[in-house]
A = this chain, B = another copy of it.
Amino acid sequence: MVKNNFSYSVSVDCVIFGYDQDSLKVLLIKRGVDPYVDYWALPGDLVHPNENTEEAVNRVLKDMTGLENIFTEQVKTFGDLGRHPLGRVFTISHYSLLRIKDYELSPTNKNNSPSAFALEAKWHNVNRIGELAFDHNKILASCKEKLVNNVKSKPVGFELLPNKFTLSELQNLYESILEKKFDKRNFRKKINSMKLLTDTGNTQKSVSHRPAKLFSFNKVKYEILKKTGFDFEI
Where the two chains meet, the residues of A that have a C-beta atom closer than 8 Å to any C-beta of B are 2, 5-10, 46-47, 49-53, 74, 76-77, 79-81, 86-88, 90, 92, 231, 233
Q: Specify which chain B residues have a CB less than 8 angstroms from the CB of A51 in the assembled complex.
A: 81
Q: How far is the CA of A53 from the CA of B46 in the complex (A)?
A: 19
B49 touches A10 (CB 8 A): no
B50 touches A81 (CB 8 A): yes
- Looking at the complex, which one of B8, B74, B233 makes contact with A10 (CB distance below 8 Å)? B8
Q: Which residue of B lies closest to A231 (CB)?
A: B233
User: What are 20 A-to-B residue pairs whose CB atoms are below 8 Å?
Assistant: A2-B87, A5-B9, A6-B8, A6-B87, A6-B88, A7-B49, A8-B9, A10-B90, A51-B81, A52-B80, A52-B81, A53-B77, A53-B79, A53-B80, A53-B90, A77-B77, A77-B90, A79-B92, A90-B90, A231-B233
Q: Specify which chain B residues have a CB less than 8 angstroms from the CB of A49 in the assembled complex.
A: 7, 88
- Looking at the complex, which one of B2, B10, B87, B90 makes contact with A86 (CB distance below 8 Å)? B2
Q: Interface of chain A, helix or strand or loop or mixed?
A: loop
Q: How far is the CA of A50 from the CA of B5 in the complex (A)?
A: 12
Can you add 6 more A-B contacts, CB < 8 Å, to A51-B81, A74-B77?
A: A2-B87, A7-B7, A10-B79, A47-B79, A52-B81, A231-B233
Q: Specify which chain B residues have a CB less than 8 angstroms from the CB of A5 in the assembled complex.
A: 9, 46
Q: How far is the CA of A226 from the CA of B176 in the complex (A)?
A: 25
Q: Specify which chain B residues have a CB less than 8 angstroms from the CB of A50 in the assembled complex.
A: 81
Q: Which residue of B lies closest to A48 (CB)?
A: B5
Q: Specify which chain B residues have a CB less than 8 angstroms from the CB of A90 in the assembled complex.
A: 10, 53, 77, 90, 92
Q: How far is the CA of A9 from the CA of B49 in the complex (A)?
A: 12
Q: Specify which chain B residues have a CB less than 8 angstroms from the CB of A74 in the assembled complex.
A: 76-77
Q: Which residue of B lies closest to A78 (CB)?
A: B53
Q: Specify which chain B residues have a CB less than 8 angstroms from the CB of A77 in the assembled complex.
A: 53, 74, 77, 90, 92
Q: How far is the CA of A197 from the CA of B47 in the complex (A)?
A: 48
Q: How far is the CA of A46 from the CA of B88 in the complex (A)?
A: 13
